[in-house]
Amino acid sequence: MEQFRQRAKELVAKMTFGEKLTQLRYDAPAIDRLGIPAYNWWNEGLHGVARAGAATVFPQAIAMAASFDEALVFDCANAISDEARAKYNEYRTFGDTEIYQGLTYWSPNINIFRDPRWGRGHETYGEDVLLTARLGTAFVKGLQEGKNPDPRYRKLDATLKHYAVHSGPEADRHGFNAEVSEEDLFETYLAAFAYCITHAKPSAVMGAYNRVNGEACCASKWLLQDILRDRLGFDGYVVSDCGAICDINEHHHLTETAAESAALALNSGCTLNCGSAYQYLKTAAVMGLITEETVTAACEQLFFARFRLGMFDEDCSYDKIPYSVVECDEHRAISRRLAQESIVLLKNDGILPLGSCGQIAVIGPNADDKSVLLGNYNGTPSRYSTLLAGIRSAADSRGIHVRYAVGCDIFDDTPRPWAEQPLREAILAARASDVVVLCMGLNPTFEGEEGDAYNGTMSGDKRDLELPPPQKKLFAEIVKTGKPIVFVNVSGSCINLTEQDAQCAAVLQCFYPGAEGGDALADILFGTVSPSGRLPVTFYKSAEDLPPFADYSMKGRTYRFFEGEPLYPFGYGLTYSEIREEWLSERELKLTNCGDADTGYVALHFAPAPDKRLLDFRRVFLKAGEACTVQFDF
């Protein structure tokens, strides 16, 4: 590592002050006289290489969390880093790399999903600190090291985001001030960052848009130096969220000009700027607000990262990763297995797994919708299986006929005399079938990032936890047919499923499951695989049970501090078998599969009330009649 630091120091010493300034931008231009190609630092890999053409699309982060499977999340991240390297190896044959073609990835999102109304919550690993910390660590290690680490070079750079105390509201994020107590700050909002930094050594941290207790996240010595570096031990580089530094003067009003904002950010420890603010650093220098010494130190840090990734060498083993790994069978198999493990069985009166039946009606706006597979920050799969396609394929192989009807629009119930009226078709399909698989919920246009979602007034956040009105109407009409219903809720967050729990034979939660999602769901429905996922978030009955969205106190939030009665608690999930738990000691748990089905199982170890926090978890696989003993560390 020291040789890379020395090489970075020597290279930066050859640059002019103006050249150094340009290298602190995410879209760093070439310096031809020094043999430095242009490099764009912006790449996304939340659950697969994103926005760079064909790639394996794995289940969304919240779905990974439902698996509680650290080893498989590591395998997923290793596959992503293989595909990222393969793409980079080909892209650089053009002489440089453009946006989404490099090696510095702005993932994972380890913010705590404190409120189910936050639109970006499905990018996270849920509401629990330990689950987020351990899965985040597995993901970072998979990206940066992979299964076959090169002893000299880093495979990719991973970036923890968004630092800090960031989880909505999206509409106000550019000027929002999150007010938190010291206890909530360190025990909840920063705990996963601290764990990942200690255990995975991430290359980078991304500063958030908001303020924390009055200080801008991308320009706070308290956050970036006193806490992040001095207290948490982070030694990498900090990148701003895109446009966040301009927010400091435009929306937070902590400075008067962009030059002052840029200087404040750089002097506070923000190394790299995504956005346009650092083009004003030259003005800031003229004003005497920054020194060349500070600029040089930041520049050296960034070139150290590039040298460590092997960008300027010919002997990096990762350069040999071929393009054939992109969407290869092995990676698609990982995606399917992760999707299987992420599906949570919430209710089952015995109807599942589906046995011999003549006809199945697959109904609902999410049944044949590709977008619900992909979530956001996603790649483009060249092969994919919608829920309908997966069910139909599995049913065909069993001689079962499938009828399909969309039933309603996912959210729009505006009456239009000339428009198709799909409700009656759904009722007819239900009447003619032995069982109805009802696929409802949300899609990524309902919940997402500001600017990505359709509902401009909420900027991607949710107003409530309810199904959209057209789906409620369709549900009521299908219930009237009297046919048994297997309800599949597809969403990246909690939905009020009180009526479905009361009136359906089975209820499953299918978080955005990736390109193999339809086949994975069919594996569960027909019993090829026993469900084993657990909820990474609490499923509340109503948003009225929660504190105001903009209140960042943890009181009344998540399983640890919620004082009401949830519909389904954090960590809840059924299997097709019966697992008996027998505590042998405080840290030793015997598990026995007393049922007939082989199944995965996640054992959870909680602290006793009033603490209630998750202390440890272990995923195991038990064949029918098999027993094992699990040792917990905490």
Mean pLDDT (the chain) is: 97
Residues 71-80 have pLDDT tens digits of 999 999 999 9
Q: What angle do CA 522, 429, 390 make, to 5 degrees?
A: 15
Q: In what order do the strands lie in the sheet with 344-348?
A: 344-348, 506-510, 485-490, 435-441, 359-363, 401-405
Is-catalytic flag, 241?
Answer: yes
* pLDDT of 319 higher than 70: yes
- Give the model confidence (pLDDT) of 324-364 as tens digits: 999 999 999 999 999 999 999 999 999 999 988 889 999 99
Of 69, 241, 247, 523, catalytic: 241
Percentage, residues of the chain above pLDDT 70: 99
Q: What is the structure's pLDDT at 413?
A: 86
3-state helix, strand, coil in the chain (%, to 5): 35, 15, 45
Mean pLDDT calculated for residue range 221-250: 98
Using the structure block, give the residue that is written with the tokens 């000027």.
175
Which band of pLDDT confidence, cut at 50, 70 and 90, is reported for residue 451? confident
Query: Band of the pLDDT at 622, cuts 50, 70, 90?
Result: very high
Q: Amino acid identity of 55?
A: A
Residue matched to tokens 């399917």: 336
498 burial level (CB within 10 Å; 0-12, 13-18, 19+):
middle
Q: Distance from first CA to last CA of the chain, Å, rounded? A: 34
Model pTM score: 0.98
pLDDT at 452 over 90: no
pLDDT: which is higher, 166 or 412 = 166
Per-residue model confidence (pLDDT) at position 453: 64
Which of 253-262, 410-419, 475-484, 575-584 bottoms out in mean pLDDT, i.e. has the lowest?
410-419
Mean pLDDT of 110-119: 98
pLDDT at residue 416, rounded to an integer: 87
In tens, the pLDDT along 246-304 reads 999 999 999 999 999 999 999 999 999 999 999 999 999 999 999 999 999 999 999 99
What average pLDDT score do residues 582-601 get? 97
